[in-house]
Structures are given as structure tokens and as C-alpha cells.
Structure 1
Amino acid sequence: DAINSGDATTDGVIDALRDAMIAHGLIAAA
């Protein structure tokens, strides 16, 4: 499923992974 597709489950997983990467400094907090 696409990011921000409106699918709450998929977007929730993506958000959790993104938050984890931001917390570890792996990606910029955009």
C-alpha cells in the first residue's frame, strides 16, 4: 500500500518505522 494512502494499518506501520529512524538519526525529521 502507498504511503499516506489512507490505509490506517499500513500508514501506522510506516509511521512507526519512520519515527524509529528519526529517533536514531538515520533520516531527517521532515
Structure 2
Amino acid sequence: MSDEGNTQRSSVSRDNVPQRDEQAVRDTLRT
């Protein structure tokens, strides 16, 4: 049960990382 909870948390964290990366890339392109 603990494993499933950890996997879900990792998925959410990973989803937030790419979103932030995309914003940073857009900022760089804008500059």
C-alpha cells in the first residue's frame, strides 16, 4: 500500500517538473 502511495506522489512531482521546465524554456526563447 505504501508503495502505491509513493508512486502516485512521484507521478505528481514529475508532472510538475516538466510544466516548470516548459515555462523556463519559453522564457529563454522570449529572451
Count of residue pairs the alignment pairs up: 19
Runs (5+) with no aligned partner, structure 1: 1-6, 26-30
Structure with the larger RCO, 1 or 2 (CA within 8 Å, 6+ apart) = 1
Q: Which has the larger radius of gyration?
A: 2
Runs (5+) with no aligned partner, structure 2: 21-31
After TM superposition, give the deviation of residue 17 of structure 1 in Å.
0.3
After TM superposition, give the deviation of residue 12 of structure 1 in Å.
0.3
Deviation beyond 4 Å, 4+ runs, structure 1:
none
TM-score normalised according to structure 1 size: 0.57
Give the structure with the higher percent helix. Answer: 2
| Percent of paired sites with the same residue | 0
Q: CA RMSD in A?
A: 0.4
